[in-house]
């Protein structure tokens, strides 16, 4: 009724009148937006002010840079946080407190402080800070990596330690690893015949992936020569990429519902595809008759049958994902860094080749039983892990309650980053700390097993990496076999000292540019 009674004046209204009306509407909307933005910023400023002055928090916090409104200290991280935080630690000390958006972080940058956190007060610092990406498919509540130290975590660790990573289990599966190393050398030999270069990181990734898939499922999941199995390899690679990306949600939890970068959404897809593949392999095994393989899958299925309350399919699939995610990138990156450092230091190459020739003979594959007779090769591996730790901050921890550390109070909910990269390059601990010098370990008892806190590439304490024992077998075998079977040519015109050493930061520490070198048959 009201609408019909309006005079039909729209068509008769002058254009100038229309423009004025539209401009008023725009002006009104703009005023509204400015007011809304002002209210939002005022609210944010109040919240940040509370944070800056730490109202309600303990006063004796560790030292650290003054946070800016809203972003805190995020602007100080840069694209190489392990390096940036090392520089800041030289100003504020080895126990440093930061505000990263709406979260708090404690950065540990010395061996003494790491020992306090990882050994003396291990239980207080044993919980995990869980990145939002790892909540996809509830991985964080099933994974041994992210579970809190409680009954379920102890059960999964016991299964790993007593059925997979014991000396007996590793010895039993040694033939599988040896076969994969032979395949790696064969792949490089084929490239040498055609004069093609080998991407060391990619080749090592495929080798490690198949090594783990044979240990768990008694079958290859990728082919070094073909695209078969490519999907699984890409899924694992994509998971590591997404897990390593800086995620706004981790710094501003209020954004969790919208997942602005889509990281959790992509992880949900990748996890789902991997779990589907694992489920197919489990069903395939359950449908088989006759003798079993006595691999990790058989062990887990036996445990499920005998103790269904202890573990189920969901948990073993998450455990398998942990093994692939933790064991592939770390090992392949470490091998690539080791090869790069040896090529960059010709005197190291000469010395290790001489040792290999004298102990096992030219063009022979290194066996795990040879490792103890190859001390210089082992020194190279240790030195690589010192200067290029595979996970620069280890896996972040979190304190569930206020904790006293030295003379400071670490507030409840603070994530804890142990900068293993900084500790490995600490000039107060290491002579010529930035120089690649394997000889430093020749007469040293310092080891990577978590007892010596100046060298903790695998962490320490109750949450030390359970795959340590496998990694320290595989790295020298793979590296020694590649060095003993080939000479290696760099790109034409490139000298050893010109090799690119830039890092690409993520959950693991990769080379920014892959090492691609041509294998040459030894004359």
Residues 49, 43: Cα–Cα separation, whole Å: 10
The residue among 381, 452, 378, 462 whose CA lies nearest residue 420 is 452
Higher pLDDT, 340 or 33: 340
Residue 4 in this model has a pLDDT that exceeds 50: no
Cβ neighbors of 110 (< 8 A, separation 6 or more) are 89, 94, 95, 423, 426
- What is the tens place of the pLDDT at every residue in 161-191? 888 888 888 888 888 889 999 999 999 999 9
Question: So what's the architecture of 127-521 in CATH?
Answer: Orthogonal Bundle (1.10)
Stated as kind and residue range, the H or E segment containing 404 is strand 403-405
Q: How would you classify the pairing of strands 103-108 and 95-100?
A: antiparallel
List the chain domain ranges.
Answer: 127-521
Burial environment of residue 423 by CB neighbours within 10 A (0 to 12, 13 to 18, 19 or more): buried
- Looking at residue 173, its pLDDT comes to 83
Query: What is the per-residue pLDDT for 12?
Result: 47
Distance of CA 169 to the CA centre of its chain: 25
Report pLDDT digits (tens) over 437-486. Answer: 999 999 999 999 999 999 999 999 999 998 899 999 999 999 999 999 99
Average confidence (pLDDT) over 407-431:
96
Give which of 412, 439, 435 is closest to 424, Cα–Cα: 435
Is 366:484 a contact under the CB 8 Å cutoff? yes
> What average pLDDT score do residues 424-429 get?
96
In 3D space, the residue among 150, 86, 60 whose CA is nearest the CA of residue 403 turns out to be 60
Q: Which helix (H) or strand (E) holds 487?
A: strand 486-489
Q: Give the pTM.
A: 0.87
CA distances 117 to 123, 405, 417, Å, are 9, 8, 10
pLDDT of 142 over the 90 cut: yes
pLDDT tier, 232 (very low <50, low <70, confident <90, very high otherwise): confident
**Higher pLDDT residue, 171 or 49?**
171
Query: What does 290-328 look like in DSSP terms, one character per residue?
Result: SS---SHHHHHHHHHHH-TTT--HHHHHHHHHHHHHHHH
Please tell me the predicted confidence (pLDDT) of residue 44.
52
- CA 475 and chain centroid, separation: 17
Give the number of residues written for the chain: 523
Q: Is 38 exposed, middle or buried (0-12, 13-18, 19+ CB in 10 A)?
A: exposed
Average pLDDT rounded to a whole number, residues 229-246:
85
Rounded Cα distance, 441 and 476, in Å:
15
Q: Give the CA angle between residues 501, 504, 508 to the nearest 5°.
A: 115
Task: Label residue 307 by pLDDT band (50, 70, 90).
Answer: confident
A 10 A CB-CB count for 7 gives: 6
Residue 268 has pLDDT above 50, yes or no: yes
| pLDDT average, residue stretch 83-110 | 97
Please report the pLDDT score of residue 24 as a whole number: 54
Percent of the chain past pLDDT 70, that is, above it, reads 87
**With contact defined as beta carbons under 8 Å apart, do 200 and 177 qualify?**
no
**Cα Rg of the chain (Å, integer):** 28
Asked if pLDDT for residue 18 goes beyond 50, the answer is no
pLDDT for position 31: 58
- What is d(CA 186, CA 188) in angstroms, rounded to the nearest whole number? 5
Mean pLDDT, rounded, of the chain: 88
Which of 292 and 105 is assigned the larger pLDDT? 105
User: Mean pLDDT throughout 370-378?
Assistant: 97
Tokens of 252: 């501003």
- Among positive and negative, which fits the CA dihedral 378, 383, 385, 388? negative
Asked if residue 153 has pLDDT above 50, the reply is: yes
Query: What pLDDT, on the 0 to 100 scale, is given for residue 10?
Result: 40
CA angle 308, 310, 311 (to 5 degrees): 75
Is the pLDDT assigned to residue 43 strictly greater than 60?
no
pLDDT tens, residue by residue, 493-518? 788 888 999 999 888 899 999 999 99
Higher-confidence residue: 37 or 91?
A: 91
Give residue 426's pLDDT: 97
pLDDT of 50 > 80? The answer is no
């Amino acid at each position: 009724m009201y609408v019909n009674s309006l005079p039909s004046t729209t068509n008769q209204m002058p254009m100038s009148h229309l423009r004025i009306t539209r401009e008023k509407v725009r002006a009104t909307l703009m005023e509204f937006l400015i007011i809304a933005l002002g209210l939002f910023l005022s609210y944010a400023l109040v919240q940040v002010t509370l944070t800056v002055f730490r109202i309600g928090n303990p006063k004796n916090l560790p030292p650290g840079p003054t946070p800016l409104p809203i972003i805190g200290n995020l602007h100080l991280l840069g694209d190489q946080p392990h390096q940036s935080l090392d520089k800041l630690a030289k100003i504020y000390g080895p126990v440093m407190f930061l505000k990263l958006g709406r979260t708090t972080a404690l950065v540990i940058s010395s061996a003494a402080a790491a020992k306090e956190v990882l050994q003396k007060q291990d239980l207080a610092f044993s919980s995990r800070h869980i990145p939002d990406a790892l909540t996809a498919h509830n991985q964080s509540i099933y994974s041994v990596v992210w579970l809190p130290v409680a009954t379920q975590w102890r059960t999964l660790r016991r299964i790993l330690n007593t059925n997979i990573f014991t000396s007996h289990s590793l010895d039993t599966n040694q033939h599988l690893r040896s076969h994969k190393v032979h395949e790696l050398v064969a792949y490089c030999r084929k490239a040498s015949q055609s004069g093609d270069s080998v991407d060391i990181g990619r080749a090592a990734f495929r080798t490690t992936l198949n090594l783990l898939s044979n240990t768990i499922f008694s079958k290859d999941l990728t082919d070094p020569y073909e695209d078969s199995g490519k999907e699984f390899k890409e899924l694992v690679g994509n998971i590591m990429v997404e897990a390593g990306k800086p995620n706004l949600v981790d710094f501003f939890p209020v954004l969790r519902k919208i997942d602005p970068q889509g990281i959790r959404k992509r992880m949900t897809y990748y996890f789902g595809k991997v779990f589907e593949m694992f489920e197919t392999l489990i069903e395939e095994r359950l449908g088989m008759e006759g003798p079993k393989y006595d691999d990790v899958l058989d062990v887990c299925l036996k445990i499920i049958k005998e103790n269904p309350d202890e573990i189920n399919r969901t948990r073993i699939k998450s455990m398998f994902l942990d093994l692939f995610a933790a064991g592939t990138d770390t090992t392949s990156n470490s091998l690539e860094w080791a090869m790069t450092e040896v090529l960059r230091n010709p005197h190291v190459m000469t010395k290790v080749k001489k040792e290999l020739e004298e102990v096992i003979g030219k063009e022979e594959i290194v066996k795990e039983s040879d490792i103890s007779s190859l001390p210089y090769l082992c020194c190279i591996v240790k030195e690589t892990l010192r200067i290029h730790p595979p996970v620069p901050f280890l896996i972040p921890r979190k304190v569930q309650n206020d904790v006293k550390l030295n003379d400071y109070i670490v507030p409840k909910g603070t994530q804890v980053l142990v900068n293993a990269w900084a500790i490995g390059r600490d000039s107060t601990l290491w002579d010529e700390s930035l120089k690649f010098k394997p000889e430093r370990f020749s007469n040293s008892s310092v080891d990577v097993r978590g007892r010596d806190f100046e060298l903790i590439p695998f962490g320490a304490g109750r949450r030390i990496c359970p795959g340590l024992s496998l990694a320290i077998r595989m790295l020298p075998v793979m590296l020694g076999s590649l060095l003993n079977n080939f000479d290696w040519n760099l790109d034409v015109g490139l000298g050893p000292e010109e090799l690119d050493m830039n890092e690409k930061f993520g959950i693991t520490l990769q080379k920014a540019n892959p090492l691609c070198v041509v294998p040459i048959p030894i004359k």
